[in-house]
Structure formats: C-alpha cells, structure tokens
Structure 1
Amino acid sequence: MSDTQAGARPTPWRWLRPALGALVLGALVARTGTAPFVAGLRMATPWSLLAAVAVTAVTTVCCAWRWQLVADGLGVRIGLGAATAAIYRSQFLNATLPGGVVGDVDRAVGHARRSDAPGPAARSVAWERLLGQSVQVPLTVAVLLLLPSPLRGLGAVGAVAAVAVAALLLAGAHGVRRRTRLVRLVSSEARAVLRGRRLPIGVASTVAALGHLSIFVLAARVAGVEASSVALLPLASVVLLAAAVPLNVAGWGPREGIAAWAFGVAGLGVDTGVAVAVAYGVMALVATLPGAVVLLAGRAPRPRALRTPPVREEVACA
C-alpha cells in the first residue's frame, strides 16, 4: 500500500480530533458564556490584521525554506516559490477545516503525486513539521524556565514529559523486526535531512516560532492586556504549543482552553485569556487568506526527484 493510500484511509481518530476540540469549546462557553468569544472577534483592528499578514508572510517563507531544505536532503527538490504557495494553501486548509492537519495531509499527498519518489516526497512534509516542533518545544521550555511567570514550574514538567513521550513512542513499536526497520528508516532520513542543514533549519524554525509569538503578544495588546511582553511570552508559548496539538476544530479548542487556564493562573482573568486567543485566531485566519488565492488558482508544488536520491526508496519500503 502506498503512502497516499494509507493516508487516505478513514479512521475514527480523524473524527475524534475535532470532536474533542468542540468539547473544549463547549466547556468554555458553559464556563464563561459567549461574551469573551464575541469580544475577541471584535477586537482585531485593521492595523493589527495587516501586521499579522506581514509577520505570517515571513513565517511562511521560513517554513517553505525549511521544507525546501528537508526535501533536498531526501532527494526531492522543490522551489522556494512553489513551497511557499503550498504552505499558504496548507495553512488556509488547516485554519478552515476540522482537525487542524488537513492542509498538511493535502500538501504531503500533492507532493507525493508529483514526485518520482513518492515516499520521501510525502515524508518530507512530516519531517518539516517535526523539525518545526523540535524547535518550538525546547523554546517553550526555555521560556518557561528563564522568564518569571506563575507557569515557570511547567518548564521542568515539560522537559520530563517530552522525554517520557519519546520513550513511549520508541516502546510502542510492535515487534523487533518492525522496530529495526523503523529505526533504520528514521536514522537514514534524519542523517540525510540534517547533513549540513542543521543551522539553516534551526534558524528558519526559530524565526517562524518567534513570529507566531509576536502575533499572540499583539493579540493581547489589542485585547487591552497591559502586562509586559516578558510576562506575556510564557503564556503565549504555552498557548501556541497547545494550539499545535491536532485536537481542534479548524484551530479552535485547545488554544482557547489553555489560554483561559494560563491567563487565569497568571491573574489576568479567564475571560481575558479566551478573548486574546479568539483575537489571535481571527488574526491568524486572516493572515492565511493568501492560501485561499492559491487554492482557487489551483497552484501546487512540482518537486523534481534527483537521479540518485540520498535516501534510497527501497529503504523507505523495507
């Protein structure tokens, strides 16, 4: 079975993800009422939306550059312009469809269909997303540990949790043979992707993460939060890390829930946290609208497979 066929198979988990996000939203409405949501929708100003569009343009190009680097390492080349257009399209789909990962799946499938090496082409999207998270998670832990905040203790907890999750994922491989194949594939592709590219991938990921943090801080400002940026960064880091968890309805759910909790713990108010998260959601959605243009125009990346890929296809299929 091909990667694209496996990715297209419907599973209960596909429907459970948005259902859990809707459950979080329902619980928040029951707790706070609709007023914070309505307030958040009204708070975004034209200049804040323009700022979000500009910052997101930078973060999108950084993500496209990261994908380009990953694709080159896996033996599939894609131009920066095509990668940027595809990521804009992916962001728009993630921001408008349930689950929060439909855009990434669409990007992986499209990349695979247009490549002579569909396995590495599809996995390049997974590697690009993984490498982004590999920077966002330690950045969040560092912010929580270094900056004064009621959430500081979460930094140590987060570090321990990350190690525990990694151990569980490794232990979850079924059978020695399957585990050996998985380790061989991951090790081979990791070496190919990171060889000579660690620094640029790290730079692209860091700039992208800082861009999203700046938009959240901007959302807090338009919501009237007067706390300093130093006080807001730990809250923003935790909220955006939660927003990356694919248990949402077009991005909504965990983001608002964690924001309500974090702002409440920080003494800024549960309602304020919800309003800021909603304002951020509006700004992020508007910033992805170029992806709608790409979607309507039918543009898609057209990767070209190298004659001798660094990662052999037979390893991927082992």
Structure 2
Amino acid sequence: MGMALLVAVIYLANPRQLFAQLQQANPWWLLAGFVVAIASNAASAWRWRAMAQWLGAEMSAASGMRWYFQAVGLNVLLPGAVVGGDVYRAIALQKTGQTKAASNLSVILDRVSGLWMLCAIGGLGAFACAPALAPWVHMNESLFGASLLAITVLWVLLPCVLLRGVRRGWLKLPGTWLDPIRVAASSPDFVHQLLIQAASSAVVQLLSAAALACGAIALGVQLPLAVWTFAIAPVFLMAALPVSVGGWGTREAAAVAALAPFGVSAVLAVGVGLLYGVFALGQGALGALAFGLPSKSQD
C-alpha cells in the first residue's frame, strides 16, 4: 500500500521535475541532515535505555545503541514501518535475562514517549503557525490558536496525571504484565525519571525536525523553525503507520499536505520526504553493519 502511494505521489508531483530537483540538492546540507538524523536516533537509544532501567531492565549503553540501530535497519527493510524493529529490540533485551514484561514495556513506552512529545511539539508548532494554518481548516485564527494551545497543555500533562494515578492507587492497571509500570510509578525518583523522558524525547524530536529542515534547505526550501516543528507531527506519524516499508509513501504524502499551507510545491515537498527517507536508509546500512558486531557476554 505504501509503495503504491509513493508511486502515485511521485507521479502527481511530476517525476521529471522531482528528479531534477534532487540532482541539484546541496551535498553539504544533505550531509548535515544525515548527521543530525543519526544524532536523533542516538538520543532515542539513550532514552530507551533510561526507560528500560526505570522499569527494572538493565542494559549497557553500548548494547542499547547497537540494538537500536539494528532496529532502525530492520525498520527500513521490513513491512510494517517501526513494528519490526520494535519487536527486535524487545527480543534482544529479553535474551539478556531481563523479564519479558519489562523488556516489552520498555519498547512500547519508549515509542509512546516519543509519540507523546512528537504530538506536543507538533501542537506548539501548529500554534506558532496559526496564521497560515487557520485558513486551511476554515477557522478563526484566535480560536484555532487558543484551541491548539489548550489541547497541547492538556496533552503534555496527561502522562504525569496518569502515572500519579497509578502511584496513588486510584488508577488500577489490569494484569500482572503491567507490574513494571506500577513499580516505576511508585519509585522515589518518579518525577526525575519522568523529566528525563520528557527532555530526551524533546531532544529527539527537535533533532528530527532539524534533519527534515536540512533536507529541505538542500533543495532550496527555507522556512521558519516553527514550520518544521509543526510538520514533523503529521509527517512522522504517517510514516509510523504499519502500512508501508520504512514509511515510504505515507511520509511523502504527509509532507505534501503539511507543507502546502506554507507555499511549498508538491514537487519540493515530496523531495523533502524522500530525502528524509534516504537519511533513514543510510542509518539502516549502519544498522545492518551493527548486526555483524561481536556481542559481549555481558550484553
């Protein structure tokens, strides 16, 4: 489905013009985007390790980094967007002797942490871009901005409220497989760990926005940072849907829709999405190389 969508988007955007634009891309900005994209995934690996330790599962920093980039490689190669890599991370952690519940939950909550902050930053970006976005949804600018800000604030506070509910006992979690969450919510460093997740997820998403912007600048598209903080939400959410291989197709279609209010042509928007996909392919190659790295006994 994703590949069919990719072909359709490229066709509608005019393949001849698209490939002409890609051939003229600035190599230095492409390199910058690739480096920043690697930094984003390195921060993601660090966040996952912090989440696993909060839930009681131990892993070394080197193992966490290696497994994460291996998962990136699988995400590029396997259908289902991020699903294949996430399953791999959970299995890799289990094989070190960590409990199945903590291993699986560390991956699930790591993904939730990233999506939570992605939507929060996207909401703030949309608030900052209200003058351009409000006309597209046929809403009053003030009402549009106030609604977005209120929803974003509530969204940011939601995890803290839910975990405090678990901590105080008025929110009951069903099943013993959720015990690691109960223990984590009851830990004395609860607030500290929650802030670590929030800060690391913010770093990950801002680096991802910067990587997307670098690809755009390579094509001659220069927009304010607020635009990219908004655009990452629809672009990355669509890319994460388990209907494609590596997010191809859904990511490019979302880029066209997200950047249209800012005057970016379909040709350039598709090019921006494709370049971000190329960054992922490069990291997938790094992940494939990581499969060949010898694992240590303590991993």
TM-score range, shorter chain: 0.7 to 0.9
SS in 2 for 1:150: helix
Q: For residues 239-318 of structure 1, what are the structure 2 equivalents within 5 Å?
A: 239-297=235-293, 299=295
1:60-106 CA deviation, whole Å, 9 max, x = no partner? 33222211221112221111111011111111211232211211111
In structure 2, the CA distance between the partners of 1:39 and 1:123, relative to structure 1 (3 Å rule), is: farther
Aligned partners of 2:80 and 2:241 also within 8 Å: no
RMSD: 3.3
Letter of the aligned partner of 1:146 in structure 2? Answer: A
CA contact (8 A) 2:255 2:273 kept: yes
CA distance in 2, matches of 1:239, 1:277: 8
CA apart distance, 1:257: 0.4
Is it true that 1:111 corresponds to 2:93 in the alignment? yes
Question: Is 2:128 aligned against 1:146?
Answer: yes
Equivalents in 2 of 1:72, 1:237: separation in Å?
28
Distance 2:297 2:267 in 1: 42
Letter in 1 for 2:212: F
Match of 1:297, SS state, is coil
Task: Say if 1:54 and 1:271 are closer, same or farther in 2 by CA, change over 3 A.
Answer: closer
Correspondence 1:109-258 to 2 at 5 A: 109-148=91-130, 150-151=132-133, 156=147, 159=151, 180-181=174-175, 185=179, 188=182, 191=185, 195=190, 196-258=192-254
**Distance across 1 between alignment mates of 2:176 and 2:119:** 23
Q: Which amino acid aligns with 1:150?
A: A
Percent sequence identity over aligned pairs? 25
Distance 1:300 1:283, change over 3 A: farther
Aligned residue pairs, count: 270
Preserved contact between residue 56 and residue 180 of structure 2 (Cα < 8 Å): no
User: Which of residues 42, 66, 71 is equivalent to 1:85?
Assistant: 66
How much does 1:36 deviate? 5.5
Distance 1:192 1:273, change over 3 A: farther
Q: Which amino acid aligns with 1:247?
A: V
Match in the other structure for 1:48: 29
Shift of 1:258: 0.9
Cα distance in 2, alignment partners of residues 301 and 234 from structure 1: 44
Gaps of at least 5 residues in structure 1 are: 1-18, 167-177, 304-318
Distance 1:40 1:212, change over 3 A: farther
Deviations 1:98-123 (A, max 9, x none): 21121111111121222241221122
Distance in 1, Cα, partners of 2:219 & 2:290: 31
Q: Provide the rounded CA distance (Å) in 1 between the counterparts of 2:227 and 2:86.
A: 32
